[in-house]
Structures are given as C-alpha cells and as structure tokens.
Amino acid sequence: MDLLTTLATIEIGILVGGFFGIVVYKLYSGEISMAGLLYTKEPGGRAALSPVRLQLLIFTLTVAAHYLGKVIANPRQDSLPSLPVSVVAALAGSQAVYLGGKVVSAYIQPLLKIQR
C-alpha cells in the first residue's frame, strides 16, 4: 500500500502542478487575456481605472501570499492552517464592495443616464 500512496501523491502532484503550470504559462504568454482586469467601463463607454477592482486585487493577493507563506513555512501539520476570522471578514467586505461597484455600474448608472 505504501507504493500505492506514493504513486497517488506523485499523480496528484503531476496533475495539480500541470494545471497550475499551464494556466500560469498561458497567463504569462498572454493566451489568457488579463487586459482590462483593473478597468471598468464608464457610462460614456470610456474605460477607467477602477479603485474597487484595485482594492480587491490587493486584498486577494495579500491574503493568498500570506496563506501560501504560512504553509511553506510549516508544511508538517495535521490540517490546513487556519485564517483569522477578521481576515476572512475583511476579504468578504472587499468582495462585497466589488459586487456593490458592479451593481452600480450595471443598474444605477444606466438609470442615471436615462434620467439625464
């Protein structure tokens, strides 16, 4: 059974690593487009830098990097490391702000445009 466990670990490593590698390569080469990630379309059709998207990007990358760093620093654990509830709540808030911005640009701005 030890051989089976080792093989299963190698298999999962190859598959997860492969998926990760392909996505990262395609992001790097531009095959997966990241154009407009931080931009939103304004009522006039003009693209503008969106602070709402920027804050979500910063929160996401910070939490993800912090978490991965925690795992790399001490991988010999019985469970995945936990995150403080305050961090999860902050991230939830950040995502709520992003969704709020999306609602404004999808529903509120068109209404204002019609009223003008």
Partner 1 sequence: MAKQDWEKWFKVLLIVLAAAALVIALGAVAVVYFAVKDAAAAADAMARLKVVLSYEILILTFFYGLMVLLYMASGKIDLSMLLSEPKGNDAQGKPLYGASMSRYQLLIFTFVIALSLLLIIIANGAKKFPAIPSEILVLLGISASTYAVGKGIQSSGDGGSGTTTTTVAPHPAGGSSITTVAQHPAGGSTTTTVAPHSTGGTSTTTSTVTPPPGTGG
Biggest CA-to-CA distance, the chain: 72
Among 28, 46, 49, 76, binds partner 1 (CB under 8 A): 76
Among 13, 48, 51, 58, binds partner 1 (CB under 8 A): 13
Within residues 88-107, the interface with partner 1 by CB under 8 A covers: 88, 91-92, 95, 98-99, 102-103, 106-107
* Residue 113, CB-side half-sphere exposure with 13 Å CA sphere: 11
CB atoms within 10 A of CB 27: 12
Among 48, 51, 58, 71, binds partner 1 (CB under 8 A): 71
Give 59's contacts (C-beta < 8 A, 6+ positions apart). Answer: 90, 91, 94
Is the separation of the CB atoms in 87 and 62 below 8 Å?
A: no
Per CB under 8 A, residues contacting partner 1 are 1, 4-9, 11-20, 22-23, 26, 31-39, 41, 43, 45, 53, 56-57, 60-61, 63-64, 67-68, 71-72, 75-85, 88, 91-92, 95, 98-99, 102-103, 106-107, 109-111, 113-114
